């Protein structure tokens, strides 16, 4: 078949075929359906991504917790309802309502910090149940507790620390005790509880190294010059106050303000009162 014959046949077929108007509405409807399908797929994909993201967040943040609240507090600041107590540049956060030296013959009678105790008449009264206490000091803890041993070596804010495992005894009332020692800073913390070992561990977990603060040191049995020198060595500013007493009273430091263990900015003033004959 030649080209002219093929052209003639195509023209004849075209004349016999009825051609209607173009299906505009059908084309539009089809396009709308295709757009809806694409939108649905995109929405489902986005929803899946959101679910994954929310699920990931839920794994990192406990339910009902504001993510901002999971950030650790600044080292020099205690969390709300807690206060810092320490010596040198090491501190521990304890509840604000804890007292100081709330004891009878060396045995705590309510939740308290035990520091700068001086001479104690050990009459061994019973310890009430549900009482937590913190004792802290400088030097090696072995000279205060010969049973101290490092069961664990770890770090506190990059500084090596030694942990004595918490143990409990029961001779009448339950008594649980644990200790942390920071060798390079010569500071130790001992927590005791007549509630549980968990309470001891919970308190000891709040020890921090605070380079921008310094604890008011214990006066102990130091004389006025030795204590003034110690304050200066710690970066604090000593101020002496003298109280006149009788000839039969020995010269001694009877008060320190702010109290020993209070965390201060370097350069802060510490007033100590000395008896003078």
Tell me the pLDDT of the chain (277 aa) as tens digits.
Answer: 444 544 454 455 445 444 444 444 444 444 444 444 444 433 434 433 333 333 333 333 333 344 344 444 445 666 679 999 999 999 999 999 999 999 999 899 999 999 998 777 778 899 999 999 999 999 988 665 657 889 999 999 999 999 999 999 998 889 999 999 999 999 999 999 999 999 999 999 999 999 999 999 999 989 999 999 999 999 999 999 999 887 767 889 999 999 999 999 999 999 999 998 8
Predicted pLDDT at 12: 53
Quote the tokens at residue 222.
């130091």
pLDDT of residue 56: 34
CATH 3.30.10.20, domain 214-276, yes or no: yes
Which of 189, 143, 195 lies closest to 170 in space, CA to CA?
195
Q: What is the pLDDT of residue 18?
A: 46
Q: Which residues contact 187 (CB under 8 A, 6 or more apart)?
A: 86, 87, 88, 90, 136, 137, 138, 181
pLDDT for the residue numbered 44: 37
pLDDT of residue 19: 44
CATH architecture, domain defined by 82-209: 3-Layer(aba) Sandwich (3.40)
Can you give the pTM of this predicted structure? 0.70
- Check if the beta carbon of residue 224 is closer than 8 Å to that of residue 206: no
Tokens of 34: 């295709």
Question: % helix / strand / coil in the chain, to the nearest 5?
Answer: 30, 35, 40
Cα–Cα–Cα angle for 256, 231, 208, rounded to 5 degrees: 90
pLDDT tens digits for 215-263? 999 999 899 999 999 999 999 999 999 998 877 678 899 999 999 999 9
Dihedral through CA 273, CA 136, CA 222, CA 269, nearest 10?
-40
**pLDDT confidence of residue 174:** 93
- Token pair, residue 248, equals 């039969």
> Domain residues of the chain, as ranges?
82-209, 214-276
């Amino acid at each position: 078949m030649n080209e002219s014959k093929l052209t003639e046949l195509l023209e004849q077929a075209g004349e016999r075929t009825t051609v209607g108007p173009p299906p505009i509405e059908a084309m539009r409807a089809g396009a709308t359906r295709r757009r809806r399908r694409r939108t649905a797929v995109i929405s489902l994909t986005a929803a899946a991504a959101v679910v994954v993201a929310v699920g990931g967040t839920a794994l990192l943040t406990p339910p009902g917790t504001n993510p901002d609240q999971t950030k650790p507090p600044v080292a020099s600041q205690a969390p709300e309802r807690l206060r810092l107590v320490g010596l040198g540049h090491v501190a521990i956060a304890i509840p604000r309502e804890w007292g100081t030296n709330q004891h009878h013959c060396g045995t705590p009678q309510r939740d308290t910090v035990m520091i700068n105790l001086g001479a104690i008449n050990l009459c061994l009264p019973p310890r009430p149940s549900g009482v937590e206490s913190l004792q802290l000091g400088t030097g090696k803890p072995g000279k205060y507790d010969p049973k101290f041993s490092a069961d664990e070596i770890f770090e506190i804010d990059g500084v090596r620390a030694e942990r004595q495992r918490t143990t409990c005894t029961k001779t009448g009332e339950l008594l649980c005790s644990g200790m942390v020692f920071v060798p390079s800073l010569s500071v130790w913390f001992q927590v005791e509880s007549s509630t549980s070992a968990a309470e001891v561990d919970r308190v000891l977990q709040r020890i921090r190294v605070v380079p921008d603060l310094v604890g008011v040191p214990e006066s102990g049995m130091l004389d006025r010059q030795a204590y003034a020198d110690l304050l200066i060595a710690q970066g604090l500013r000593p101020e002496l106050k003298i109280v006149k007493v009788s000839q039969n009273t020995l010269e001694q430091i009877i008060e320190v303000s702010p109290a020993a263990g209070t965390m201060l900015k370097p350069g802060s003033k510490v007033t100590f009162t000395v008896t003078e004959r």
